[in-house]
Structure 1
Amino acid sequence: MSEPLNIRPTVESDFVDLTPQGLRTVRRWAMSITIGSFLFGFDTGIISGALLFIRDDFGLSSLQQSSVVSVLLLGAVAGALVSGRIADRYGRRPLLAGLGVLFFLGIVVAALANGYWMLLLGRVILGLAVGGVSATVPTYLGEMAPAQIRGRVLSLNQLLITIGLLASYLVNWLFAESEQWRGMFWVGGIPSALLVLMCLWLPESPTWQITHGRTDRARRTLDKVTEPGGADLVVARLDDTDRAGEQDGGPSASGSGGVRALWAPAVRPALLVGVVLAALQQFGGINTILYYAPTIMGEAGLSASNAIYYSVFIGVVNVVVTVVSVYLVDRVGRRPLLLVSLVGMGISIALLGVAFSAELTPVLMLAFMMLYIVAFGVGMGPVFWVLLGEIFPPAQRAEGSGAGSTVNWFSNFVVSLLFLPLISLIGEGPTFWIFAVVCALGVVFVAKWVPETRGRNIDEVGEDLHRRWNAPAA
């Protein structure tokens, strides 16, 4: 590229006239911070294989096995809930560095666990860290990326989550022969330390710096990636937004107004879209496949090592299709990907239910699982996180992202906790059919109430939201 990118100024990043080197720099920043997303995937997925050996060592019941999986999700609810306020007060970068330390601490406790309760403690600590990065990474990416490549940059969050999941499956496979589940956990210490080191190098979000009176530091960051004068445009635009918010009697860009500001009439449509999509992503059944793939395949008659081996294929498909979504999200748009995704998820998980009810072969069950992963990975997986970083006004972005992440993790917790008991009660087939019905309801919701954000600035996104929800304009 020899010409600078002429990117229309937007509130969220306003990186105008990026130089070719600046564009590469933004991408490096994005890849570095998504180490947190990798840890998100790794530490949620590693339990899928470790649980097969932990349950024998500790003599865990079915409910205890579910709690070992789901307690991380409960910790993630708390982590996501408080992360928005902390990120607004102290900055995105310090919070992410602290979350790296928290990841490492949780790994140490889980790997050294001498029983059920110590293992639960380690999983809770990991959950706090996972919830924190799930809310903070999209916020950081949304504020650092220009509108022209914002979808692709925000999609890196989901891509690294899927790579983390695949890495956890591979680690599970490598340690399966020796049944060393503690070693599975220890591997996660490496990216945890790397996240802390990256946060020492990465800049703070210029949006956060400007809205907290640190304009000179923000200018230095912006000058690294924009043409001369670009930093002035960013500062002027955010100052205008701040004054407009004060004149309207709402929260300014320099203060989110807390969680209550999310219920303001002008912000409420974004909140509703964020939290409903968060719930749909989980109640559509994705993590019953990702977390329990080895358990499901074991129920189909495979040995523990073979079940883990099959789950690796699911992880590979998940990564590949997410790469495809990263390519498509700024070309096709968010809404088409979501609609295609939900239709495909509903059909494939319904077929999985049929396969279990009719006692079809494990290979066919695996095929339906992979079809489901393809459908999820092209839309609901990455696009939810993209929208979470796009639909909220700058003043409420961290709190809004935290609210969406909180609902996402709480829904994840409910589904994961009830999945195995529900299978025991009504069987695999009817359980998967319930998820298919949720996907069908999701198609209706997206078609009617979710806006398109591709290539739009925050004002245009807000207008679309308010039109769809018949809400007052901001």
Structure 2
Amino acid sequence: MQGFSREPGTQGPLVRLEAGGKRKIYRWAGTIAVGGFLFGYDTGVVSGALLFVTRDFRLSAAQQGSIVSVLLLGAMTGALLAGRLADGLGRRKAVAVEGAVFVVGTAIAATAPGYAHLLVGRVVLGLAVGAASATVPVYLSEISPTDIRGRVLSANQLMITTGILVSYLVDLAFSRTGDWRVMFALGAVPAVLLSLGVLLTVPESLPWLVRGGQWHRARAVLCRVMPREEAERMVADLKERQGQGPDGGGAQGRSRARGRRALLDRSVRPALVVALGMAAVQQFGGINTIIYYAPTIIEQTGLSASNSIFYSVFIGAINLVMTIVASRLIDRAGRRTLLLVSLSGMALTVALLGISFMAGWNSELSLLCMLLYIAVYAGGLGPVFWVLVGEVFPPASRALGSSTATTANWISNFAVSQAFLPLVAVIGQGETFLVFAVICFLGLLFVARFVPETKDRTPEEIGTALGARFGRSRPGPDRARTGADRTGGGH
């Protein structure tokens, strides 16, 4: 809700969101970000549950792999559909629906009598994970004042890493009994809280309401975080800038009519290139191969991997701690700085990890390289990607843009996870990590050339900065700043 703070170069009501209003924003963000927690929990819990599912259902190696990877396939589809769902129903109802899908998928998985039913449950969970991963950053973006936008958006990644860590702890807690059904079933609790929480406590996004001309609801949202007189003044200013009366609002309909073709518009293409590029770099830099195959990698260092769940908890804890560090820095140091530092550190540490395997260094050094790699990823690229997805697109294209970038992220995730072990078999484990190092270095060059700083910038300013980096002196006509942009459009 960007209009809550005074922005450079804007005219109109001098409104500032006070501390009480910001506290409400943080509470709303915490509720919305439960979608990120479910993302992390349902992708992480299978690592421990699969040990016992395999025993009970006598799964082959191929079936075990499919239980893991089918969620990624479902997530691709869910992310692809999320943009239209969020634009059609609104952000609030879309997230509530996604919470309900989490509940359904959890119920199918936890009660599965056999392999086929469990596979169906994982597909449904994948749909929910993918849709939430695309919708939650947009929703967080559009409730955020400019000065705390990065911190609010980074709550998504913070909750993802928390969900992963909690899933590992749940796996550890039930590893003695081997009750994998309970491991899955516990995911229903945050899913119910997500649906009820957003419906009962969180308002609809202000930019979505403004673009739809729903002025009474927009006024009600503003009154929840600022004095009524300030809210009235802002609504009057927004109506004037929108050039429409209380019942107007064709902008949202026109945006939906254009569909994904709008992302190819000359004014939106730079944002699309940046979002897709960062989606690919985040995955092809190798992070999920380390997360998914950590016990295997640790075993290769010569250390015992008999307690693989314990190692997963340790790695999850590092991931969470460094994500907290990043959330503290993101509105101070900026997105671009964190990306450059993170990718530099990732390139160096994964290269050293590769060399350690090739040179036969002692196991402690190899393990240290792996842990440092996870730390520098979680302190930069991990959370910043999700922040950028919520920032770089113009408001009218944000939901579809986030949906498209998130789909690309899941496709990249699936491709890397499927290719890792075959690539290791062909060229060797150390050499494969060197390939990841090269990709991280190329990602560093991509960020240095094409990704602008978005901290404290309005949608118009971000569009101008993107245009300059792609060789355009001025933004295109679609970047003309509307009242919806000023009220949040998420920036």
TM-score normalised per structure 1: 0.91
Are the structure 2 counterparts of residues 61 and 358 from structure 1 closer, same or farther at C-alpha, using a change threshold of 3 Å? farther
After TM superposition, give the deviation of residue 238 of structure 1 in Å.
5.3
Q: Is 1:210 the equivalent of 2:201?
A: no
Report what 2:87 is aligned to: 88
Match for residue 423 of structure 2? 422
How many equivalent residue pairs? 463
Q: Deviations over 1:375-398 (max 9, x none)?
A: 111111111111111111110111
Show the counterpart of 1:433. 434
Aligned residues: CA RMSD: 2.5
User: CA shift at 1:421, angstroms?
Assistant: 2.9
| Alignment partner, residue 318 of structure 2 | 317
Give 1:253 shift: 5.0
| Contact map agreement 2:5 2:146 (CA 8 A) in 1 | no
| Equivalent position of 1:133 in the other structure | 132
State the one-letter code of the partner of 1:175: F
Change (3 A) 1:444 1:62: farther
Check conservation: 2:212, 2:251, Cα contact below 8 A: no
The amino acid of 1:367's aligned partner reads L
State the match for 1:248 in structure 2: none
Structure-1 separation of matches of 2:402 and 2:237: 22
- Per the alignment, residue 226 of structure 1 pairs with 226
- Map 1:253-332 → 2, pairs under 5 A: 255-256=254-255, 257-298=258-299, 306-332=307-333
Question: Aligned partners of 1:173 and 1:299: how far apart in 2?
Answer: 23
Distance across 2 between alignment mates of 1:344 and 1:144? 32
Q: CA separation in 2, counterparts of 1:292 and 1:392? A: 34
Is contact 1:84–1:398 with CA below 8 Å preserved after alignment? yes
Alpha-carbon distance in 1 for matches of 2:410, 2:319: 20
Quote the Cα distance in structure 2 between the aligned partners of 1:175 and 1:162: 20
CA distance in 1, matches of 2:417, 2:9: 39
Distance, in Å, in 2 between the alignment partners of 1:214 and 1:160 is 31
Name the CA distance, whole Å, in 2 between partners of 1:405 and 1:188.
Answer: 22
Structure 1 residues 359 and 171, CA gap change in structure 2 (3 angstroms): farther
Secondary structure in 1 matching 2:167? helix
Q: Distance in 2 between matches of 1:89 and 1:359?
A: 56
Instruction: Read off the aligned partner of 2:165 and give its amino acid letter.
Output: L
Distance in structure 1 (CA, Å) of the matches to 2:184 and 2:240: 48
Question: In the aligned structure 1, how far is the partner of 2:182 from the partner of 2:9?
Answer: 46
Using a 3 Å threshold, how does the CA distance of structure 1 residues 296 and 64 change in structure 2: closer, same or farther? Answer: farther
Contact in 2 for aligned 1:9/1:16 (Cα 8 Å): no
Q: Is the 8 A contact 1:176 1:305 kept in 2?
A: no
- Structure 1 residues 366 and 105: alpha-carbon distance in aligned structure 2, compared to 1, 3 A threshold: farther
> How does 1:32-431 map onto structure 2 within 5 Å?
32-201=31-200, 202-232=202-232, 234-235=234-235, 252=251, 255-256=254-255, 257-298=258-299, 306-360=307-361, 362-431=363-432
Asked whether the equivalents of residues 169 and 311 of structure 1 are also in contact (C-alpha less than 8 Å), the reply is yes
The separation in 1 between residues aligned to 2:40 and 2:282, in whole angstroms, is: 15
Contact 1:334–1:454 (Cα < 8 Å) also in 2: yes
- The separation in 1 between residues aligned to 2:124 and 2:457, in whole angstroms, is 38
1:72–1:124 contact (8 Å) kept in structure 2: yes
- Please say if residues 105 and 125 of structure 2, whose CA atoms lie closer than 8 Å, have aligned partners that are also in contact: yes
* Amino acid of the structure 2 residue aligned with 1:159: L
Question: Is the CA contact (8 Å cut-off) linking 1:83 and 1:402 kept in structure 2?
Answer: yes
- CA deviation string 1:79-123 (max 9, x = no partner): 111111111011111111111111111112222233332222111
Distance 2:176 2:262 in 1: 53
CA distance in 2, matches of 1:140, 1:10: 25
2:19 corresponds in structure 1 to: 20
State the distance in 2 between where 1:30 and 1:410 align.
Answer: 27
Amino acid at match of 2:218: A
Give, in whole Å, the separation in 1 of the partners of 2:241 and 2:306. Answer: 56
Give 1:57 deviation, angstroms.
3.7
Task: Give the Cα–Cα distance (whole angstroms) in 2 for the partners of residues 10 and 132 of structure 1.
Answer: 35
Q: Determine the C-alpha separation between the residues in 2 that align with 1:319 and 1:275.
A: 25
1:473 aligned residue: 475
TM-score of the two chains, using structure 2 as the length reference: 0.88
Pair 1:110–1:360, CA change in 2 (3 A)? farther
State the AA in 2 paired with 1:390.
E
Contact 1:338–1:380 (Cα < 8 Å) also in 2: yes
Q: What is the CA-CA distance between 1:455 and the residue it aligns to?
A: 0.8
Task: Among all aligned residue pairs of Structure 1 and Structure 2, give the percentage whose two residues are the same amino acid.
Answer: 53
Q: In structure 2, how many angstroms separate the alpha carbons of the residues matched to 1:386 and 1:179?
A: 38
Residues 363/110 of structure 1: CA separation in 2 closer, same or farther (3 Å cut): farther
Quickly say closer, same or farther: Cα 1:58–1:464, change in 2 above 3 A: same
Structure 1 runs not aligned, ≥5 long: 245-250
Displacement after TM superposition at 1:301 (Å): 6.0
The 3 A distance-change label for structure 1 pair 155 and 132 is same
**20-29 or 112-121, which deviates more:** 112-121
> CA, structure 1 residues 302+107, in 2 after alignment: closer, same or farther (shift >3 Å)?
farther
Task: Give unpaired runs (5+ residues) of structure 2.
Answer: 245-249, 477-491
What are the Cα deviations for residues 53-82 of structure 1, in whole angstroms up to 9, with x where unaligned? 333444444443333222111111111111
2: distance between equivalents of 1:10 and 1:172?
52
Which AA in structure 1 matches 2:334?
A: G
